[in-house]
Amino acid sequence: MHLMRVLAQLAVGDEIRYAVLSEKIGRDVQGEARHCLDTARRRLLRDERRVFDVVRDIGLRRLNDCEIVRTADRARAHIRRTARKAARTVLCADYAALDRETQVRHNVALSVLAVTEIMAGEKAAKRIGKEVDRSGHELSSTLTAALALKDVS
């Protein structure tokens, strides 16, 4: 909980070094006490809507509202890469050697991963963004999916 109090004191835009956080609890927050830092960040996100991002090899920074929204772009790119890698892994299975039930699971996995990759892509985001801009509000999941998958054969 102590790390939560330390992080909660940071104003938007403030940074704190890992060394300072480690000193506060007497353990290395980049090693043995990483879980303590992760828990503190997760609880502050959940309870107080405070978002912190990593400043590589330095520490953490409390994000402002615009930076919080931009985290979605990084997450979307990560999801897209993960879907692509998972599909490549599934394709390594010898399809002909699988029983019927596992072939179905194989095909479902590839289908879901392909849709995920398309929906997390930049073209889909731009298409959806244009409609959000036009309508002025969040879109329904049905319309979002239709726009993301437009022109997909």
- 3-class secondary structure for 13-48? CCEEEHHHHHHHHCCCCCCCCHHHHHHHHHHHHHHH
At 93 the three-state DSSP class reads coil
pLDDT (tens digit per residue) in 48-100: 999 999 999 899 999 999 999 999 999 999 999 999 999 999 999 999 999 99
Among 85, 72, 87, 88, which residue's Cα sits nearest to residue 122? 72
Shared-domain flag, residues 50 and 97: no
83 and 26 inside one domain:
no
Alpha carbon distance 51, 67 (integer Å): 9
Residue 153 belongs to a domain: no
> Do 40 and 7 reside in the same domain of the chain?
yes
Do 7 and 60 contact (CB within 8 A), yes or no?
yes
Same domain, 48 and 94: no
Is the pLDDT reported for residue 111 higher than 80? yes
Same-domain check for residues 50 and 118: no
Question: Are 29 and 86 contained in the same domain?
Answer: no
- Within a 10 A sphere around the Cβ of 40, how many other Cβ atoms? 23
pLDDT at 151: 75
Q: Does residue 12 sit in helix, strand or coil?
A: coil
Q: Which domain holds residue 28?
A: 2-63
The structure tokens listed for 119 are 């929906």
Residue 17 Cα to chain centre, angstroms: 23
End position of a domain, from candidates 63, 89, 104? 63
- Which of 12-16, 83-87, 124-128 is least confident? 124-128
Last residue of a domain, one of 63, 93, 114: 63
